[in-house]
A and B are shown apart, each in its own frame.
Chain A
Amino acid sequence: MSNYDVQEYVTVTIAGQMFGIPVLQVHDVLGSINLTNIPLAPPEVAGALNLRGRIVTCIDVRKRLGLPAREETGQRMSVVVEHHGEPYALLIDTVGEVINLKSEQLEKNPATLDPRWREVSAGIYRTQDNLLVILQIERLLDFAGNASAAA
């Protein structure tokens, strides 16, 4: 098995669903965060936070995926990724582990998937007990174009 067809993913759960984020794109995993609200921002933007002197824009992935707001008030975690040199924190429920998956096992998005999900999903992995939706960060952060056009 050659190296390049194995991908490493950080698994996260949002509303019970497992998602995978390419590990190389993940810069940080944050526990408690102190969010500053940004009025008038698109609803997907949860706020901004200070990560060691850098201002990180926080994205509520639930909103982005059209999921209801989280009911339990427990601590939320976030994964910091970088896009075009700008850091973004993705607000998720919990962080799992890092797993290796063979690229060839990636399956196409089922046609029945919600368009909002299909938009951000690069494909699905079948793991032993779960289905893993691979998130495409660029696509996930791509709501801004629409937002600014609407504004």
Chain B
Amino acid sequence: MTRSLAATTFATVVLLSSSFASAQAPSGKVSVVTSFAKDVTDPFKRAFEKAVPGVTLDVQNRNTNAAVKLIEETRSNNQIDLMWASAPDAFEVLKGKTLLMKYSPQATGIPDKVGSFPINDKDGFYFGFAASGYGIMWNERYARANKLPDPKEWQDLAKPVFFDHVAIAAPSRSGTTHLTVETILQGEGWDKGWRTLKEMSGNFRQVMDRSFGVPEGVNSGQVGVGIVIDFFAFSAQAANFPVKFVYPSVTTVVPANIGIVANAPNAAGAKAFVDFVLSPAGQEVLLEPTIRRLPVNADIYAKAPKDYPNPFKDPQFQKMISFDVDKSEARTAVVDTLFDQIVTFQLDGLKAATKSIHDAEAALAKKDNAKARALVTEARDLVAAMPVSETQASSEELRAAFTGGKQKGARQSELEQQWSSFARERYAQAKTKADEALKLAR
């Protein structure tokens, strides 16, 4: 009884507040859908409600994909004011479906770029409020027990010593991992990049289906090393977990974003929250131990604790590669599906081949043998071979297979079957060759 009464009263309040919202100061409930944890949203909620009296921030936590689906499915009668999440791709998807509202925030002191990545959407539909870089996180206790060296570069993770110790989230499941994969592909080129990725993948313990699964696994010591976004490691450190983090030289810092949903019921409140998040007061909240993200306002770093990374000053960020958003956007589905079909679902075959190659190389290091070495090179090339070239990956034909294009053509399931059998056959051949090499080298 009381609930339905409350619901009715509430509906009336929303109705009233939204009809006056455009003219008056922000008030009422501001609904934000976010992929950020409670530890991130709570400090913002407290600070915002203090800074703008009369508003309440209603935070709805969902993973990025579910948030996008929700906004899409409910567009006819939208009840959500803001979308707040890491991956720029998700905002690109929303923007492409005209689900975001244009706005020019009032904040000052925010530069155009962080590293080489533009902070705000060029058309003004979403705004970066914090920067994050991708890198390698590891558990010190695990590393000590398993005698693992400290990794520095992506290539380090391909070394035999890391076999079965590394975890990653599937790029199809995690917007941030997708960017990591795309960064490696853009930084090293399509073929070389995939070679690096597959050599690393041969050492994977697991390919997880949630972004947070990876830092959780490293924190608890179930896996030794994880490929993660920086704040997962920083906030774990702040919570006293025995973990370390490094930015490899081929990486990039990317902004985490906020955007106002089209037809927001409380547009005034939404604008107020965007302005708050980008204001110095809002930016300072990012330094909280449970959040630990990199502010986009360069002045805030003066208040940061010692050793806090500063993407505007630290030399490591200056040499980071520039990231081509359009290129990434054009081949998102193909890259993610390729990764799933040739790595995630073929992990056993890939690992078996990698193990044999490692063993053969270890034997060769003791006693060289030209013929065996040639076989190992062949095996490595077989592992690295790709069923799809860079041009094909962004071709209209492949894109159509994934987006349900109007033309008849190859279906996604058929392509997947082709790609996975391509990979499976080559991994099996590579294993045979490497095993042969091992026999010769002994």
A and B: bona fide binding partners: no
Chain B interfacial positions (CB closer than 8 Å to A): none
Chain A interfacial positions (CB closer than 8 Å to B): none
